Amino acid sequence: MNLTGMVYRPPYEANSLLLQVTLGCSHNKCTFCYMYPNVKFTICPMEQIEADIEEAAQVCPDVERVFLEHGDAFVLSADKLTQIAEAIHRKLPKVKTIAMYASIQNIKHKTDAELRRLCDLGIGGLDIGVESGLDAALAYMNKGHTAAEAREQLLRLTKAGIPYSFNAILGCGGADLWRENADATAELINAVQPHLLFIGSLHAQPGCKLYGDMKTGAFKECTTGQLLDEQERLISRLELKDTIYFGSHPSNLVPMQAILPKHKDEMLRIVRETRKGLQGRLDEYPLRGGEGSIINR
Ligand code: SF4
């Protein structure tokens, strides 16, 4: 089976079969993104996808979860996704879930009936880069959606029965808007009640617009103290019924996994303890390595 170009997947898809159905990302314009530079978005032909599924059936016939590559595979039409899902179920009968990255715009372009049909075919576990609930941050990050659109489309997914991960980025509003970013993002998360909340922290690598803007000062990065304050403020404002908080991404100053609301007090205690331990360094910027990993924790 061939996987072309850089392959990304969420950490919880480590045991999933990665099946390429597109190359690159149909949007490819997010200010902070360095995933697919110079990759022309392409939809893989059905013959190639079927050949890969056939090969997977020989190599891992018992696989239960498939993750469709690349950057926003949910951009495919409901008909193409139906064809792919049916081909998977024909050859890999133990597959229960077909997951993939998705954008808010990808959902908008499908009808309610199509979403229900995709749900019935096992399509779920959509990994959605919502990033923020603050329109100013979303506009600067060039996400292609507003907070109101995100709310509407995520509620449509829930109504159709499709589970998803809400991905949010601490620091998206920069040093000037960290409070607003925390408040608006918490408000959006509370409104849609995701099953899974994936938290990362803003970082930039050469090749994306954000990197240049940070260098010139056009975008003011959050300090260590501001990132911790934003995380505390976000968590304290979350009013969730039953959500997994997946915050182990190495870009986070306080990596943690928890269940909300059960662990809320403990999470806040850990953030406050971390801040105490970093006294004297709160006005500095976190030192980051590859994929934004914190190297001076
Ligand atoms: S939608 Fe995802 S893959 Fe595409 S440009 Fe934005 S962050 Fe990158």
Q: What is the CATH number of the domain that holds 80?
A: 3.20.20.70
Q: Which residue has its alpha carbon closest to ligand 1 atom 8?
A: 33
Within the chain, which residues score under 50 in pLDDT? none
| DSSP H/E element including 260 | strand 256-260
Q: Which atom of ligand 1 is nearest to the CA of 25?
A: 4
> Is residue 115 located within the same domain as residue 167?
no
Q: How are beta strands 256-260 and 243-247 bridged, if at all? A: antiparallel
Q: 7, 9, 26, 30: which to mutate for ligand 1, most atoms within 8 A of CB?
A: 30
d(CA 244, CA 201): 18
Q: Could you tell me if residue 222 is inside a domain?
A: yes
| DSSP H/E element including 97 | strand 97-102
> Is residue 210 located within the same domain as residue 290?
yes
Domain stops at, among 128, 150, 183:
128
From the CA of 74, how far away is ligand 1's center (Å)?
Answer: 12
What pLDDT was estimated at residue 207?
84
Q: Could you tell me if residue 149 is inside a domain?
A: no
d(CA 28, CA 269): 38
Range of the domain at 221: 163-297
Q: Which atom of ligand 1 is nearest to the CA of 33?
A: 8
> Is residue 168 located within the same domain as residue 296?
yes
Domain stops at, among 73, 101, 128:
128
Q: How many domains does the chain have?
A: 2
> Is residue 167 located within the same domain as residue 246?
yes
> Is residue 106 located within the same domain as residue 217?
no
What pLDDT was estimated at residue 292?
87
Q: Which atom of ligand 1 is nearest to the CA of 71?
A: 3
What pLDDT was estimated at residue 295?
82
> Which residues line ligand 1 at a C-beta cut-off of 6 Å?
25, 27-30, 33, 35, 71-72, 103, 129
Instruction: Say whether the peptide bond before residue 255 is cis (omega within 30 degrees of 0).
Output: no
> Is residue 177 located within the same domain as residue 252?
yes
> Is residue 284 located within the same domain as residue 230?
yes
